[in-house]
A and B are shown apart, each in its own frame.
Chain A
Amino acid sequence: MAEIVPALGTEIKKVKKKESPFIITLKRLLKNKLAVIGLIIIVVQIGMAICAPLITSYDPAKQNLVASELPVFSEEHWLGTDNYGRDVWSRIVYGARISLVVGLVAVSLGLIGGVTLGLLGGYYKKLDGIIMRIVDLLFSFPGILLAMLIIAILGTSLVNVAIAISIWSIPSCARIVRGSVLSIKEKEYIMAMKSLGASDLRIMVKHILPNCFAPIIVFATMRMATAILSTAALSYLGLGAQPPTPEWGAMISQGQAFMWSSPHLTIVPGIAIMLTVFAFNVVGDGLRDAIDPNMDIQ
């Protein structure tokens, strides 16, 4: 028999226009109003960070003592100026760059470490004990304290803040990934892959990891919020960005002294931090609902 003709009954229903899982998730996400608001804030912010020189007319570090402590909605400076006469709007816009980049770097590094440890721990029973004890050890420190400890060792700079925050992200990420791996590796399709002679590495990276993407994406989004908040907190404490870097946390810390005379110096960067953290959190929440297959019922 040369060719096996498809038998009757095997004809399957016409597949309607193909929708990738990405499009489906996006559609569901867009139904969530709060998540859309968050998404808009994030997009605007990314736009601000990228086009910073185009939407500001002042150098964020340039001092102009003649026009210091101008209030909000001044003629030249719509968000006013600080005690050195630096344009607050420029500093907020350039600060968005720093927050996003530090957050992104910290989360990426944290994901690389956490996913690797989680995959290894979940897949190899023997490594699991060791890796999870290390993770427990990291968990036993309060996050910000751990970050401060790392910065104390490495020195104060934004790069070190990113590293510190990433190390602090590793344990929770490792736990999440390990949990998914533990359930996925027992699935029949992993057994089927083994029966085809795939190596452990191939199974882990190409067949198990894609199944863990949903929790990882949600984790990463939520973690961005934490990372941005922590960067601001550490800079506020003087452990991160050093003057004259326009970092939001550092701006609050510097504006503190002028809280009564020029409250906008603390309120404006405060609102910027709040909006960003809020945006990433609601998008993370929305993503979790959108990715969850049980939401299909609705």
Chain B
Amino acid sequence: MMGETLLEVKNIVTEFRTADGQLPAVRDVSFSLKKGETLCIVGESGCGKSITSLSVIGLLPSNGKITSGEILYEGAPIHNLPAEKMRQIRGNKISMIFQEPMTALNPVLTVGFQLREPLMLHHKLSKSEANKQGIELLKQVGIPYPEKRMNQYPHELSGGMRQRVMIAIALSCNPGLLIADEPTTALDVTIQAQILDLMNDLKSKFNMGVMMITHDMGVVAEVADRVMVMYAGKKVEEGNVNEIFDNPKHPYTKGLLNSVPNVDDPDFELEAIPGSLPSLHEQIDGCRFHARCKFATDICRSKEPPLSKISDTHHVSCWLEEEEGKLG
């Protein structure tokens, strides 16, 4: 059922107004997502992946703003909608799962109350109808005794359970796009796998597009159809999951893959990427990664690399590839 484009992000720039002036956190990022597809946005903390997702759902902090570019959902622009219109889209067509299941549920309200909210809000269901559907949703996310859970408070559930509840809440209105901001980072590894499986199942069931933000390459390998690698606010590489894993082009992507331990290969050397992410307001000429890149040449230090095409689906923004592309 893949094919139809669900979300298109074109050249967005998201800036923050701060005491040091305008800080661009997302710089000219474009990507698209098809129905039934999972796009993983990967990168270090602070590289702009969360801000990209918040830009899409329109929940930037009050000092943040999309200053240029556009975001299209099913072909219609959503980046400039008035607050009220955007509110109707949130939860209904685009919804989001957060990282911390421990804090993303309101501690003083029952699970049922929080589950009924979006249903009563967007589908205008009555309380009893919403209750029925809520129980159905809890069943769908694999929660035993759903009737009982409806009257429980979040502190009575385990972390994995809470994340399931979060997913149930996010999916309650059958959204077309689900944004998951590191949904498994705070969970035990065994629970992580269950949650990822669940998300995969539900994705194919509802034919949703999923935008998953993570820094865990293991998670990427498990769920992603496509991968976008971000570095310091810029997209550095994008491709299908096997293209990225089998044939990474950008030195940063290679670095990310090499910094995941490999148990099967005893000779595997864990390789950390030296240095750290530049701060947002740092003026960097050329490629933003050059300071940490061992292949950096003069042109990397002076001119920003364009996006070069490896295949129809695989793009990379690196001078090393650009030259090869020219030759070939």
Instruction: Identify the A interface with B (CB < 8 A).
Output: 1, 3-7, 9-12, 15, 18, 21, 125, 187-199, 202, 206-207, 210-211, 213
Contact = CB atoms under 8 A, between A and B. Distances in A.
27 contacts: A3-B139, A4-B140, A7-B142, A10-B142, A10-B144, A10-B160, A10-B161, A10-B194, A12-B157, A18-B152, A188-B104, A191-B98, A192-B98, A192-B105, A193-B106, A195-B57, A196-B90, A196-B121, A196-B169, A197-B89, A197-B92, A197-B118, A197-B121, A198-B91, A202-B121, A210-B106, A211-B108
The 7 closest A-B pairs by CB, nearest first: A196-B91, A197-B91, A197-B90, A195-B96, A188-B103, A4-B142, A189-B106
Given A1-B201, A9-B191, A189 B103 contact: yes
Given A10-B161, A125-B62, A197 B143 contact: no
A206 B117 CA distance: 10
Contact of B87 (A5, A6, A11, A199): A199
Given A7-B197, A12-B161, 5 more contacts: A4-B141, A4-B198, A12-B158, A21-B153, A192-B98
A12 B158 CA distance: 7
A188 B97 CA distance: 11
A3 B169 CA distance: 18
Nearest to B139: A3
A191 B109 contact: no
B118 to A, nearest CB: 5
Contacts, number: 111
Nearest to A13: B158
B59 interface: yes
Nearest to A2: B205
A123 to B, nearest CB: 12
A1 B140 CA distance: 10
Interface in B99-136: 99-100, 103-109, 117-118, 121-122
A227 B5 CA distance: 64
B95 interface: yes
B156 interface: yes
B184 to A, nearest CB: 14
Contact of A189 (B91, B99, B104, B157): B104
B283 interface: no
Nearest to B110: A20
B101 to A, nearest CB: 9
B190 interface: yes
B244 interface: no
B9 interface: no
B88 interface: yes
A187 to B, nearest CB: 6
Contacts of A11: 144
B122 A197 contact: yes
B59 A191 contact: yes
B53 to A, nearest CB: 10
A202 B87 CA distance: 12
B59 A196 contact: no
A94 B122 CA distance: 52
Contacts of B161: 10, 12
B114 to A, nearest CB: 8
Contact of A15 (B107, B108, B121, B156): B156
Contacts of B59: 191, 194-195
Nearest to B84: A199
Contacts of A207: 106, 109
Nearest to A209: B108
B87 A197 contact: yes
B95 A9 contact: no
A91 to B, nearest CB: 44
B166 interface: yes
A190 to B, nearest CB: 8
Contacts of B144: 6, 10-11
